[in-house]
Structure 1
């Protein structure tokens, strides 16, 4: 990363941290871009250059999670069974959540508190599932996987992730995220 990119990333993180703190204390609806900008001595215009809307501040972290998942999937062995690759990538994503638990608990609470952000996250998840299915179909020549599995496996994994994260947030992070995930996986049988 160049010095300029590092500075931009630091500013982006400052905006997000300020936004999360304000949203946590005032609620999503009552927090404004002006308040966020003021909290970190930036102009509202600068904040809007990084994030065109308040919702974009939150969903930027959903995008980051999507990138982590896809990067992991591309790095998995090409001959690995699809469901094993998806499980490994889900675990990698959840490990990030566990490492930065307070941060992600706050983000997930904000998402749950806003139907607009929840809807955007759901759309983004559906888009990720399509991308994952595409990656799996490209790998299908080296592994035997049915066409239905190409769409079904990502849908199952993302549904499990939604339920597990929702349970984790409901427990205020007291329940272990990876244990919740492993318990959920035990309920599912993937056919090899």
Structure 2
């Protein structure tokens, strides 16, 4: 149950599924397909879909690589939050957007598992949200050259790690795309 008052709704949060971010990502096509299926499910179930789009010195706003992948298209009425830091809440309008939608629970998908996705999971959780990570709808590219484990291990470890998170009044967990439920959360009245 979220610690946020009067926020019973669930939103799908799509983090940084941009051309340059996922072009070399582990199992890119399968992950993007799973995200696409979840976007359609959320729309059918009238759950909010909120898009997050990163930019910085290397990922220049307006460039081809900055754009959302062509397989996915934000709806005209779906909020798109631009960010410059790993945590999608940091110095953005995300909290205002989610508050306005009455969202107390987030279902998180996207890229990079070991950077923006993980930072956003924690950012949401410490702000009082219930946070579900979709185990087969997040990805990262190979960073073994910098000492990181292979991408499949990064993803598996993040899934394990997030399935064991706990905090007073909030829930966390990891589920596969086929088990996602966009139903309302038991929000604090």
Which TM-score applies when normalising by structure 1? 0.27
Greater helix share, structure number: 1
Higher relative contact order (CA 8 A, sep 6+): 2
Task: Give the greater-gyration-radius structure (CA).
Answer: 1
Which TM-score applies when normalising by structure 2? 0.27
